[in-house]
Structure 1
Amino acid sequence: MKYITTLFSLILLPILAQAQTVTLDECQRLSQENYPLIKQLDLIGQTTDYSVSNISKGWLPQISAVAQATYQSDVMTLPSPLQTMLGQQGYDIKGLRKDQYRIGIDINQTVYDGGLINGQKNVARLEGDVQTAQTTTELYAIRERINDIYFGILLLDEKIQLNKDLQVLLQSNLDKLNSMLSNGIAMQSDLNIVKAEKLKTEQQAIELSASRKSLLDMLSIFIGKKITKLAMPQDLIVPTAGNNRPELRLFDAQISLADAQEKLLNARLLPKLSVFAQGYYGYPGYDQFNAMFNHDWKLNGMIGVRLSWNIGALYTRKNDRAKLYNRRGLIETARETFLFNNHLLEIQQTDGIVKYRQMITDDHEIISLRRDVRRSAESRLEHGIIDTNNLLQEITRENQSRIDLSTHTILMLKEIYDLKYTTNN
């Protein structure tokens, strides 16, 4: 039974440890998948499909029903001499009635529209592309927030571990001082000084743990997953050639939309050709001469071809093109501004990485020197050469040098992954 328990422990513990540990890349991916804005991408796609489908229906026959009743102040009549002559021959000429009625349908089928419908469909698709690119850009910005939280937690992890190491070191010196106090070498005040410092360190541990829990809870909400441990990202070289930020795709989509809208202006100027059919049941019919003799309702119909050319678009064409030209100018200016600021940030982050690498090299040497000084101070305290305050100063300085190393290491990694975010490479 003991063998089975040990076997299960060896199998399950690594799995559980792995399940609780998440990487930065995983957090980036889960945060975007879990962010409510991701739903907008599907909605944009569906809306675009509906718009394109509705525009395509412009090729279907357009059918309208008509019902009309009118009363006219005057109607067409026959000349009086003709009415007299026909009356003498026995014809009852009632004349057109002033109340007239019509119920019918009109059917219109577009044959040629100058590319208007295709242009409208293209504009609708590109409007969807712009909205998609805008949403993708907003989703990408979440990565920067994840970077800040993730590396904030890692920095706190390092400080918590260093705090534990400091507590162990202080406890070791407390044990030595207790022994020295028993032998009459140290005083109670020396012991109290170290005890106070250890209590202060324990207070700092509580504060660090609370801050870590707060950031960890935020990260868990972002990724929709409860986590306890973060993996340390790798030190890597970020390629800086080229820029793959989604903002650039947004600018491209906006330019393409402006181009399509300009083509649509041209399509609106071209003539339109259609065939039509009209039919109605009512009074009077197309044969109004017969309607003077007979007031019955009749069926009437007409078919034909219609060529229309609306030149009203010429009135605003110049201003519309000027507006599109200015819009392109604004987009290009925004692109240049983005690339300029992005390049400055890239230079700053690259220089920061170089700076932290040099500082880390120095930190290792400083820690080695501080450790030797602290050990020497412990030895001198045991021989009564220095007091407890001198020892605590050296312990604090060594601990601070270790904090500096951890801080510079985490900040260097953050600069690396911030640079990766800046270039999206």
Structure 2
Amino acid sequence: MRFLKKLSLLFLILFLSGLHAQVSQSSASLEELYRSANSNYPLIKDATLIDKIEEVGLAVISKNALPKLTLEGRGQIQSENIELNLGTTSIQAPLETWNTSLNIDYNLYDGGNTKAQKNIETASANVDRNSLEVQLRSLKDQVNTLLFAILLSRKQKLIFENSKEDLESNIRTLQAAYENGTALESEVSKLKVRQLELVSEIVAVEGDMATYFLLLEQLTGKTLPRDVQFKIPGLLELDTNTVNRPENLLYDSQKTLFAAQEASVAASTLPKISLFAQGGVGNPNQLNFSDLNTAAYALGGVKLNWNFIDFGKGKKERKRLQLQQEQVEVERELFLFDIESKSKEYQERIKATQQQIVNDTEIVDLQKNILAQTKVQLDNGVINATDYVTQLNATLNSEQELEFNKIQLQQLQIEYLTLLGQL
């Protein structure tokens, strides 16, 4: 029994170790987070609705091409009617008349109007789709902000923890010196105060990081382990020479919609040919005025409808739609101009941050050397704890500034790629 218990415990330990390893090795790429944010955002449901609206709209337009059946009925009474005197005989049409008929109309040629309406419906749906993509693109900026806030918090926590460990070592050394009577108790207390301050800063950073994780999980709908490794593409891994933003597709689809509306206006001025038929029953006979009895009747033929003179209305309408297409191009040029301006700004900020990192690295190296010398001086009683804490804080600040600029450089590069639509 004891052997079985030990074996079960061993399996449990191995299982938990494997589970921990699996969690700690988990990773998430930036592109995966973008996709998760898109699929989790409530607005994504609008994409399905756009497809359904287009499908129903096209079906309605297709129905217009089918024969139209109408049932008409009419009854009337009048004060007088036609009366014919034929010698000794007179014929008077009845004062009460009625008629019921079934009418059929079928378009043989509608001037391309049905096709034009379908093109408008499809173009309108594409505008809605691309507009949705433009709205969803803002999610990338939110993901970027939260992800780099997490990375910066991790760096800050690591720096604080390393400094806390150094302080613990110095406290033990100074405590021993105090017990030997070679150091003041106040010097030990000063180091302990700074140690507690670091603990508070670590707790604050952990609280901020937990908030950032919570917001990122809410945005993406994914549960992320706190030690998840984020895969971030480098600046040189992607093409930075082209702008691939969804706004470009939106402008294209808007122009296509205006062009489809222009074609519809042109189609409305073309002749339209249709077949018609009518069958019914009435009193008197609707086709033979001499038959004053209730009678059935039928007729049919071909009908031409051509609005060939509209006093320039169609021409003006087409001109308006052409001007709207030109207006879209102006909006595109303005958008690309803003992108180019922001792109140059990002390039300059990236260069400046890279130079800052070089300088900060040298500063951190110097501060660490000074801190090491200060520690020796503290151990030898040359300086007091206040001097040491001052230098420790200076070293901490320089390390934080360096790590902040490293994260800032990554963030600028990702925001630059996002601006260009490469992410």
TM more than 0.5: yes
Match of 1:41 in 2: 47
Number of the residue aligned with 2:89: 86
Q: Secondary structure at the match of 1:140?
A: helix
Q: Counterparts of 1:61 and 1:220 in 2: how far apart (Å)?
A: 56
> Which of these residues, 218, 221, 231, is aligned with residue 221 of structure 1?
218
Q: Which residue pairs with 2:100 in the alignment?
A: 103
Instruction: Identify if the C-alpha distance between structure 1 residues 43 and 197 changes in structure 2 by more than 3 Å, giving closer, same or farther.
Output: same
Q: Is the 8 A contact 1:61 1:107 kept in 2?
A: yes
Amino acid at match of 1:384: G
For structure 1, which runs of at least 5 residues remain unmatched after alignment?
Answer: 88-92
- Equivalent residue in structure 2 for 1:15, among 5, 22, 26: 22
* 1:99 maps to amino acid: E
**1:113 and 2:110 are equivalent in the alignment:** yes
SS at match of 1:240: coil
Partner of 1:63: 69
CA shift, 1:161, in A, is: 1.6
Which residue identity lines up with residue 235 of structure 1 in the other structure? G
User: For residue 274 of structure 2, what is the aligned residue in structure 1?
Assistant: 274
User: Counterpart of 1:138?
Assistant: 135
Q: State the identity %.
A: 26
Q: CA deviation at 1:356?
A: 2.0
Q: Hey, what does 1:408 align to over in structure 2?
A: 405
> What is aligned with 1:283?
283
- Of the structure 1 ranges 278-287 and 153-162, higher mean CA displacement relative to structure 2 is found in 278-287
Q: SS where residue 242 of structure 2 aligns?
A: coil
Cα distance change, pair 314–50 in 1 and its aligned pair in 2 (3 A): farther
Superposed CA offset, 1:99-130 (max 9, x none): 21112211000001111110010011000010
Q: Over residues 288-320 of structure 1, what are the superposed CA-to-partner deviations in whole Å (9 max), with x where a residue is unaligned?
A: 43334x3xx221111010001124754532432
Q: Which runs of 5+ in 2 are unaligned?
A: 1-6
Residue in 2 aligned with 1:90?
none
Distance in 2 of aligned mates of 1:13 and 1:205: 24
Go from structure 1 to structure 2 and tell me whether the alpha carbon gap of 1:23 and 1:96 turns closer, same or farther (over 3 Å shift).
Answer: same
Deviation at 1:141, TM superposition (A): 1.7
Find 2:329's aligned residue among 327, 332, 338.
332
- In the superposition, the TM-score normalised over structure 1's length comes to 0.92
Matching of residue 162 in structure 1 with residue 165 in structure 2: no
Aligned-pair Cα RMSD in Å: 1.9
SS across alignment from 1:357: helix
Matched, 1:251 2:251: yes
Name 2:4's counterpart in structure 1.
Answer: none
Deviation at 1:17, TM superposition (A): 2.5
- Give the AA of the match of 2:253: A
Give the Cα separation in 2 of the matches to 1:208 and 1:148.
16
Q: In 2, Cα distance between the equivalents of 1:33 and 1:158?
A: 30
Amino acid at match of 2:88: M
The offset of 1:76, in angstroms, is 2.2
Aligned to 1:77: 83
Q: CA deviation at 1:325?
A: 2.8
- 1:231 matched to which residue of 2? 229
CA contact (8 A) 1:24 1:231 kept: no
Equivalent position amino acid for 2:89 in 1: L
* Structural mapping, 1:124-203, within 5 Å: 124-203=121-200
Q: Which amino acid aligns with 1:51?
A: G
Deviation at 1:373, TM superposition (A): 0.4
Q: Is the partner of 1:290 in helix, strand or coil?
A: coil
**Letter of the 1:355 counterpart:** A
Q: 1:137 to 1:312 in 2, by over 3 A?
A: farther
In 2: Cα distance, 1:342 partner to 1:234 partner: 21
- Does 1:341 find its partner at 2:338? yes
1:269–1:314 CA contact under 8 A, matched in 2? no
Structure 1 window deviating more from structure 2 (241-250 vs 183-192): it is: 183-192
1:328 to 1:35, Cα distance in 2 relative to 1, 3 A? same
| Separation in 1, partners of 2:310, 2:412 | 54
Distance 1:58 1:313, change over 3 A: farther
Which ranges of 4 or more aligned residues in structure 1 deviate by more than 6 Å?
none
- Cα deviation, residue 46, structure 1: 1.2
Q: Quote the Cα distance in structure 1 between the aligned partners of 2:287 and 2:41.
A: 70
2:57 corresponds to 1:51: yes
Deviation of 1:213 (Å):
1.5
- SS of equivalent to 2:324: helix
| Number of residue pairs the alignment of both structures matches | 412
The two structures have a TM-score, normalised by structure 2, of 0.92
Partner of 2:205: 208
